[in-house]
């Protein structure tokens, strides 16, 4: 972007903080407290992080292929910014030497998904529990699954505040932005994906994905029947009561952690996506039969939870963010938490 543009963006972010501070001072004079802030702004192939108070903003970085992400050296939250806040009570009283409202702003050139997979923002309630390395490390356990990552971090922070004796649950804000890998077929010389013997043939002329899933009905799901293979419900299946969203989200998070634990304890790690799918098949079928509210959970063997081949159009008809979350998946990958008109899903792309 060039040094001129970088300087301009940093100045614009600082001015935005100053404008917010002026607004807070004018409209919240009776509130004897201030607040911190963390902002991430992506401009072209650069990211700018700004932090004020004890909020945290950090970019995850990978040193070499196979390494776990760690906080990049460029992260917002220096000493001067840490002592400041927006709408600070000392400035409301007009006292001298009041902490400022100028954030620390750092910028860096993004070097692709493999080098910079995601960035994280967190409130001061998160920063008092997790340092930047722990913050990024917890998110790294859920690659390309920001909702899982955010809910896991939030649960950990709530638990720690309760352990410290907090009488009222603190306000927690966590955000993760994942940078996407290139789309399939967008790079010349890309290796052909390994294949597995399909249970059903892919339809010619359409982009189709073969999927398996666990579905949990939630209390605020719309209740419409989805189009496609998932609609073939067995008439005699006993309906399970819908769950609160937070409970369903926690259950799916536990499923994913159990699958990952099973994989980490394997004597021999799967070498290909096909090997991974086969390896996880037994554990997945066990969990699917136990938990899923979809009639596909009653299928036997490797077909348990199988949705068959679905086109992007059929995924869109199922509603919610299902198509958006599933389309980028590569073979063997698990989705983030997915919402459709039927409820909440955890989905694996099989082929």
Share of the chain above pLDDT 70, in %: 81
Mean pLDDT of 87-100: 68
**Model confidence at 77: pLDDT above 70:** no
The reported pLDDT for the residue numbered 185 is 60
Tell me the β-bridge partners of 243.
218
Q: Which of 28-37, 158-167, 277-286, 334-343 has the lowest mean pLDDT?
A: 28-37
pLDDT at position 104, please?
87
Q: Residue 184: what pLDDT?
A: 65
Q: pLDDT of 155-192, one tens digit each?
A: 999 999 999 999 999 999 999 999 988 776 655 444 44
pLDDT at 200: 55
Instruction: Inform me whether the pLDDT recorded for 205 exceeds 60.
Output: no
Count of beta carbons in the 10 Å neighbourhood of residue 294: 22
**pTM of the full structure:** 0.81
Give pLDDT tens digits for 102-121.
898 999 999 999 999 999 99
| pLDDT of 93 over the 90 cut | no
Average pLDDT score over residue span 290-317:
95
State the DSSP H helix or E strand holding residue 66, giving kind and residue range, or none if neither. none
Select from 311, 331, 332, 330 the least CA-distant residue to 322.
311
Average pLDDT of 329-346? 95
Q: Residue written as tokens 């954030």?
A: 103
- The encoded tokens of residue 115 equal 């080098």
**Cβ–Cβ < 8 Å for 50, 21:** no
Does the pLDDT value for residue 204 go beyond 60?
no
Q: What is the pLDDT of residue 238?
A: 56
* Residue 235 confidence (pLDDT) above 70: no
Return the percentage of the chain with pLDDT > 90, whole number.
Answer: 65
Residues written for the chain:
351
Residue 16 — very low, low, confident or very high, per pLDDT cuts 50/70/90?
Answer: very high
Q: How far apart are CA 16 and CA 24, in angstroms?
A: 12
Of 108, 124, 99, the C-alpha closest to 37 is 124
pLDDT of residue 308 exceeding 90 = yes
pLDDT at 182: 79
Rg (CA), the chain: 23
Q: What is the mean pLDDT of residues 304-309?
A: 96
- Beta strands across the sheet bearing 46-52: 37-43, 46-52, 104-109
The pLDDT of residue 84 is above 90: no
CB 63 within 8 A of CB 73: no
Comparing 317 with 1, the larger pLDDT belongs to 317
Say if residue 226's pLDDT is above 50: no
What is the chain's mean pLDDT, rounded?
85
């Amino acid at each position: 972007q060039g040094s001129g543009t970088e300087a301009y963006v940093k100045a614009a972010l600082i001015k935005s903080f100053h404008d917010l501070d002026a607004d807070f001072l004018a409209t919240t004079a009776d509130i004897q407290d201030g607040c911190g802030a963390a902002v991430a702004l992506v401009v072209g192939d650069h990211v700018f992080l700004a932090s004020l108070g004890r909020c945290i903003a950090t970019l995850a970085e990978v040193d070499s292929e196979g390494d776990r992400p760690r906080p990049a050296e460029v992260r917002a939250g220096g000493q001067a910014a840490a002592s400041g806040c927006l709408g600070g009570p000392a400035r409301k009283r007009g006292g001298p030497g009041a902490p400022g409202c100028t954030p620390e702003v750092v910028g860096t050139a993004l070097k692709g998904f493999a080098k910079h997979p995601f960035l994280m923002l967190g409130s001061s309630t998160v920063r008092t529990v997790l340092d930047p390395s722990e913050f990024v490390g917890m998110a790294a356990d859920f690659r390309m699954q920001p909702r899982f990552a955010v809910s896991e971090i939030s649960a950990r922070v709530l638990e720690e505040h309760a352990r410290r004796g907090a009488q009222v649950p603190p306000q927690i804000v966590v955000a993760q932005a994942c940078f996407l890998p290139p789309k399939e077929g967008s790079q010349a010389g890309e290796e052909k994906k390994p294949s597995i013997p399909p249970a059903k043939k892919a339809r010619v002329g359409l982009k189709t994905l073969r999927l398996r899933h666990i579905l949990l009905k939630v209390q605020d799901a719309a209740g419409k029947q989805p189009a496609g293979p998932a609609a073939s419900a067995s008439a005699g299946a006993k309906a399970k009561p819908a769950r609160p969203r937070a409970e369903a989200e926690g259950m799916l998070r536990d499923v994913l952690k159990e699958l990952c634990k099973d994989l980490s304890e394997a004597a021999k790690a799967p070498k290909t996506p096909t090997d991974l799918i086969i390896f996880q098949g037994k554990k997945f079928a066990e969990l699917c039969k136990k938990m899923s509210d979809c009639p596909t959970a009653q299928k036997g063997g490797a077909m348990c939870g199988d949705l068959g081949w679905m086109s992007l159009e059929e995924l869109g008809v199922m509603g919610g963010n299902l198509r958006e979350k599933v389309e980028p998946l590569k073979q063997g990958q698990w989705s983030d938490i997915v919402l459709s008109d039927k409820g909440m899903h955890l989905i694996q792309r099989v082929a």
